[in-house]
Structure 1
Amino acid sequence: MIVTFGGLVAALAVMFGVVAVGSTVPVLPTGAAVSATAVLAAHYSPVALPVVVAVGGLGAYIGDAVTFAICRAGGEALTRRLRLLRQPWRLAGTVRERLHRRPVTALLVSRLVPGGRIPVLLTAAIVGLSWRTFIVSNIAACALWATTYSAIGLLSRNVFPQPWQGVVCAILIVLGAGQVAGWVERRRQSRVAEPNADVRP
C-alpha cells in the first residue's frame, strides 16, 4: 500500500473534521483519528508529521473554543442545571485551582482523560476563566495533545511495515488506553464520592 499525496490530503481533511466535531460533540474518537493519520503521514514522508500535529491541534482548538463559548453563553441557566450534577460541582474547587495555577496542564489532562474535557470546560466557564487565558493556554494544550497521539501513530508505524496495519494498531492502542483510563477515573471518582455520601444530611 502506497500513500499518495492526494490520499494524505484526504486523510488530513477527514481527521480535521473528526477532531473538530468530536471536540464539540464527544462521540467521535479524536485521538484515534490523529494517530491513524500520523501513520499514513509517516509512510508518505517524515516531513508530513508536523502537518498532522498542526491540523489535529487546530481542529481540537476550534472544537474546544466552540464548546467553551457555548458553556459561557449558558450563563446562569447552565449553572442551575449543573447543580443537579454532583460530579462537576464536586470537582469545581479542584479544577478552579488547577485552571488558574496551571491552565495548560489542566486543559491538556482534560483532553487525555476520557470524558474529562467537557466537565473541565464546563467548570472553566462557571468559575469565570477568561477568554484570554483560555485562548493562550489551549494553544499549547491542543498542540501537546496532537503531538502525543501523533507519537502513538509513529510508534505503530515503526512496528508494522504496511500503513493499514499501523492504522489498525494505532486505533486499537488509543481506544484500549482510553477504556483503561476511563475505568481508572471512574474508580477514583467512586472512592471520592463514598465519603461525601456518608456526610450528606
Structure 2
Amino acid sequence: MLRYRYILFILVSLFLLTGCSNREQQAIRALNEFEAESHDSISELDVIKKSEVNLQDDFEATIGEDESLETFSDEQGPIFDNLNKRQESIEILIQLNKSLDKARERLAAIESSQTKGVTKEDITSLMSSLDSFKKVKGKFTKDYQLMLDAERKFYSSLGDEDMDYKKFQAGLSDINKLADQNMKEVDALSTQLDGLSTVIRSVHDKLVVAE
C-alpha cells in the first residue's frame, strides 16, 4: 500500500510544480481531491487480503456457533462479518473510479505545449496510464463483486434443508474458480501500477529539471 500512497503523493506534487495558471490550479484541486478521497480507500485492498486469509477460520467459527447451520440461513456469524467487511472495501474502491474520472478531466486541461517542463505528449502519456489503471481496477472490482455475490449465495444456502455434499462441492468449486481469476487480476493491477509509476516519475523529473 505504500506504493499506492507514493504514487498519489507524486501525482499531487507533480502538478504543484507546473505553474499557477487557472488550468493548472484546476488540475491541482482535482488531484488533491483524488488524493484525499483515495488515501484511505487504497488501504481497503489490504483489508480484503487480510479478510481472505481469515476466511477458513471464520467459516469454522460460524459452524461452531450453531451446528444446526441456521446461522447461515440468517446470514449471521463470523463468515458473514468477513463477507460484509470485504463488501464495504470493494464499494470504497469503486468510488475511487469517480475521482479518477474527475482527475483525468482536469489533466486534459493542461495538455498543452504551454505547460512548463513537459510536452503535450508527456501529459497524454500520463493520462493514458491513468486510463489503463482505471480499466484494470474497474475489471477487478466488478469481478470481485461477482465473487462476493456468489459467496453470499453459497454461505446462506448451507442452512437449506436440501443442501447435500454434491451441492456443497459444486458451490465451493464455483467460488474457487472466481477466486483464482481474481488473483490474476490483482497481478495485472500491480503491473499497471508499475507502469503508472514509471510515467509519473518521468514527468516529475522533467518538471523538477525545468525549475
Which TM-score applies when normalising by structure 2?
0.30
Which TM-score applies when normalising by structure 1?
0.31
